[in-house]
Amino acid sequence: MTYAGSRLVHDADSHLMEPSDCLDPYFDRKLLARYHDLPVYKWKKSFDAFVNGQLAAHDDAAFRAGVAENILLRKNYEAHGAFRREDRPDVLDLLGFASQLVFTTFCLGNFGLDEGDDMELCYAAAEAHNRMMTDFCAVDRRLLATAYVPLEDIERAVQTARNAIEMGAKALMVPSKCPQHHAPSHVGLDPVWAMAEEAGLPILFHVGGEDKLNPVYKENGLPPVPDFHGGDDNFTSVSYMPIPSAVMQTLATMIFDGVFDRFPNLKFGAIELGAAWVPGWMRSMDSAAHAFMRNETRLQNLSAKPSEIVRRQFRVTPYPHEDAGWIIANAGEEICLFSSDYPHVEGGRNPLKRFDESLKGASTRAVEAFYSGNFIDLMGEGLAPDLRVPQLARSA
């Protein structure tokens, strides 16, 4: 019996746990030295002694013998299939998930290059990431590779999106924060959205590409507090709060500026950015549209109320500590997705149990939409027909 049992579950968020040299084989040779000079690369390189110890553990027969019983207990680099692609299909077999979107860990945020001036290196890093992700996921078609497309340079963004689709990516990830010199809704980016729509692939936002907490908020005259992982520089209760701020603004801008309407068959997803903010955000957009419609032609031209456009084209993953049932009741059954965050600690040791508890008051239709239907709708052509309902495919 798998972890999911007989139910149909698609996983909208999982990760790799990469060593520092993960991009080296995929990087443009002439730019590799510049990449190695980045502070984040040098920091991660010093961490590799620990990573190499984890790699060695996965060669140990006794350690591997405990994979099944520890499939959701071992986290990060200890987790099976966290960095060895040949092990990852076993993870899906044990979990019983029909498919799994796969994101990076090391490369989230593209090393801060989007906010800099070196666009050549920015896009080279994104391209190397995309090659790595599609290569890793090529081992099993249930693994759905995400590719990153920086939006800073419009011409380069279009080419990077084209390359990602051609190499087999199943979703295009873009940053939540606004590009430096133009809006994310700029008409020059329409070819990116058009290519994704034509290919039937979604546009995704993921934690790591958002605006971070102003560090001055930590200067409170009090002792520092431990973060989620026991350190002092990752998620705390205060730094958790702005996580969805950028994606709320970016998506609202894209809706108001007509991007969703220009590409009505294009789906968007917010992954690992929480979802408790969604109901209020939908109402706020409706209020803004109502208040400013008289003076803004763009609002008059919208095909529907912003909240209705959201239900039509937007999907989101609640955190396991959020009340998914409340979010669904207040945002709509079409919006929420299940995610495990495997193998990250934040996903917990029993995500199905935690979500099931919050969904006790939801309808059977809403629960099925949460665990599978909304994901199938989001992924479009990125999810092969026989993977959408694999039980039926096996019995056919």
**Structural domains in the chain plus CATH codes:** 10-207+243-395 (3.20.20.140)
Least confident of 48-62, 117-131, 133-147, 150-164: 48-62
Q: What is the pLDDT of residue 232?
A: 53
Q: Residue 254: pLDDT above 70?
A: yes
> What is the mean pLDDT of the segment spanning 140-158?
98
Task: Give the span between the Cα atoms of 320 and 346, in whole angstroms.
Answer: 8
Q: Give the distance from CA 197 to its chain's centroid.
A: 18
Q: What is the pLDDT of residue 182?
A: 98
Q: What is the pLDDT of residue 229?
A: 56
String of DSSP letters for 285-345: HHHHHHHHTTT-HHHHT-SS-HHHHHHHHEEEPPPTTS-HHHHHHHH-TTSB-----BTSG
Q: Residue 228: which pLDDT band, with cuts at 50, 70 and 90?
A: low
Comparing 225 with 372, the larger pLDDT belongs to: 372
Q: Residue 198: pLDDT above 80?
A: yes
On whether the CB atoms of residues 286 and 305 are closer than 8 A, the answer is: yes
Per-residue pLDDT reduced to its tens digit, 39-94: 988 888 788 888 888 888 899 999 999 999 999 999 999 999 999 999 999 999 99
Q: What is the pLDDT of residue 11?
A: 98
Q: Residue 393: pLDDT above 80?
A: no
The b/e string for 185-215 (b: 16+ C-beta within 10 A; e otherwise) is bbeebebbbebbbebebbbbbbbbbbeebee
> What is the mean pLDDT of the segment spanning 206-218?
90
> What is the mean pLDDT of the segment spanning 349-364?
96
Q: Residue 372: which pLDDT band, with cuts at 50, 70 and 90?
A: very high
Q: What is the pLDDT of residue 356?
A: 97
Phi, psi of 365 (to 5 degrees): -65, -40
Per-residue pLDDT reduced to its tens digit, 62-73: 999 999 999 999
Percent helix, strand and coil across the chain, each to the nearest 5:
50, 10, 40
> pLDDT exceeding 70 applies to what percent of the chain?
97
Q: 206: which strand partners?
A: 271
Q: Tokens in use for 327?
A: 């979010």
What does pTM read for this prediction? 0.95
